Amino acid sequence: MAEAERIIGTPDTPDTGRDGTEGDDARAGGAPGAGAREGGAPVAASGTGGTAAESERPRGKRRIAVLFTVAALAYALDLISKMIVVAELEHHEPVEIIGDWLRFEAIRNAGAAFGFGEAFTVIFTVIAAVVIVVIIRLARKLYSLPWAIALGLLLGGALGNLTDRIFRSPGVFEGAVVDFIAPKGFAVFNLADSAIVCGGILIVLLSFRGLDPDGTVHKD
């Protein structure tokens, strides 16, 4: 009877009225994992699954911390640089950094990055807000360090330019972004634009490599 109960997975119940042999055999397990069951499921299996889930949660939290740390750093650098530019460069002559090849020049940009689409300021403001919301929602499923860095750059850059859109003149959601980095023969931009472009390039590279935000790798 004990052997039949072991095969069908029914936990053995020691019989105190017998000589204790059957109870000892059940406690010994007879076969690997036979006597270690809890609610009809092997304890080892549930323990392994629980350990894996517990290890994934801290790993995901670390990636989220990286995302927001990168975003905060990009946002702070952009904000500080714009404050200095407005205070020191606006209404002044451009400052040459590398001759004619690179100079700092304060410009108010009502369009998108690099001065494109100045007639759609409100639309770009809404797009930036949507991007921020999407990144924050995606962060819950983030388990990839490179993706955390890329999304952090996007988030910090979007927040930097969105701050200008909301708080700078001529009005809320129509504010002009402060640009100041002026390479020769290229549009004027700022650190937020640079963070957005770098984050976008990194996302493209990760996509080509088949790495998803949740850490899985696929090959098409």
* 163: enclosing H helix or E strand: helix 145-167
Neighbouring CB atoms inside 10 A of 49's CB total 11
Assigned token pair, 55: 């290890």
Query: How far is 133 from 155, CA to CA, in rounded Å?
Result: 9
- Give the whole-angstrom CA distance, residue 75 versus residue 13: 64
Question: 220 and 210 in contact (C-beta within 8 Å)?
Answer: yes
Backbone φ and ψ of 213, nearest 5°: -60, -30
Rounded Cα gap, residues 157 and 205, in angstroms: 19
Q: Which residues are catalytic?
A: 179, 193
Q: Please say whether the beta carbons of 155 and 135 come within 8 A.
A: yes
Q: Which of 99, 122, 83 is nearest to 184 (CA)?
A: 99
Q: Which two tokens stand for residue 45?
A: 């299996």
Residue showing tokens 């999407």: 134
Tokens 């990055």 -> residue: 113
As a whole number of angstroms, the distance between CA 26 and CA 14 comes to 8
